[in-house]
Amino acid sequence: MSLNQLSSGDLIADRRADYAKMLAESGDSLGAAELMAQALELAPGWAAGWFRLADYEEKSGRKEAAVAALRATLRLHPDDIFGASLKLALLGAEETPEQPPSTYVERLFDDYADRFDHALVEKLDYSVPEKLAGLIERASGGRHFRHVTDLGCGTGLFGERIRGRADFLEGFDLSANMLARAEAKATYDRLGQADLSLAPESSGVLGDLPAERADLVSAADVLMYLGNLESAFVIAERLLAPAGLFAFSVEDAATDEGFVLRPSLRYAHSERYVASLLADRGLSMLALERTVIRMDAGEPVAGILFLAGKPG
């Protein structure tokens, strides 16, 4: 996210913040924190500056100072576009939220949209769209779909992989910029903005769609930006026609806990938790595959691909 580039509105404060950033990049987090604090004395209402200070304080080992800076960020920006509440949870200062702030997720992907495909596929070896499409093909016997609903479609990477097997393909995402990138590819028959963290009646256009419309609902690499998955599964089950399939991925929590918040600010989910939610919605587990879904800071991220079915 390019939030670090936001100006304080004070030239001297911006200059000190720039020097702080250079110190941080050279490994001097303590010096960066001290210089950033000086900048904020000149611009105390700069929310992005407080968020940067929190990062420097955390890296310098001053946890209490980091927490204080994050709380200042939230006071100045209660809608939490920076995800300060997630950072507070990771520092043990707050309970883990069941959902990230929608404003944070929307801003994150709006900013990321222009470089999303290149960054994920070429730099992070992102492979969920191909692997999930392959799982669907193998487990369904190469089934052709009348109507596919792609939840959290992003720029349309999964849509490109399923387009040839769908008569009608629609995609929904929280980020307007991601939807614009998907529209430019001309892959989807319909696109719309929606929030999967909300109940169907509050999620935007999803609440207005006729039930039982899709014989495949997908959620490729989107559920890790949710904690509690109940609302997303309610939406998926509602949209699925009888005998329809629900294909999705999660980051593997490697525990029996429901979900955990990772330092990446993404959530990981356990197989047991997912299986329990599927059972609650009357969906049966048809296939499961553990795999590496991407790289993060040079390390592989373990994930689980699921294919579930609605009774016919």
Q: What is the 3-state secondary structure (H, E, C) of the chain?
A: CHHHHCCCCCHHHHHHHHHHHHHHHCCCHHHHHHHHHHHHHHCCCCHHHHHHHHHHHHHCCCHHHHHHHHHHHHHHCCCCCCCHHHHHHHCCCCCCCCCCCHHHHHHHHHHHHHHHHHHHHHHCCCCHHHHHHHHHHHHHCCCCEEEEEEECCCCCHHHHHHHHHEEEEEEEECCHHHHHHHHHHCCCCEEEEECCCCCHHHCEHHHHCCCCCEEEEEECCCHHHCCCCHHHHHHHHHHEEEEEEEEEEEEECCCCCCEEECCCCCEEECHHHHHHHHHHCCCEEEEEEEEEEEEECCEEEEEEEEEEECCC
Fold of 2-95: 1.25.40
Fold of 116-309: Rossmann fold (3.40.50)
Residue spans per domain, the chain = 2-95, 116-309
Split at pLDDT 50, 70, 90, the class of 185 is very high
Minimum mean pLDDT range among 66-80, 122-136, 147-161, 199-213: 199-213
- The pLDDT of residue 1 is 39
Split at pLDDT 50, 70, 90, the class of 2 is very low
- The pLDDT of residue 118 is 72
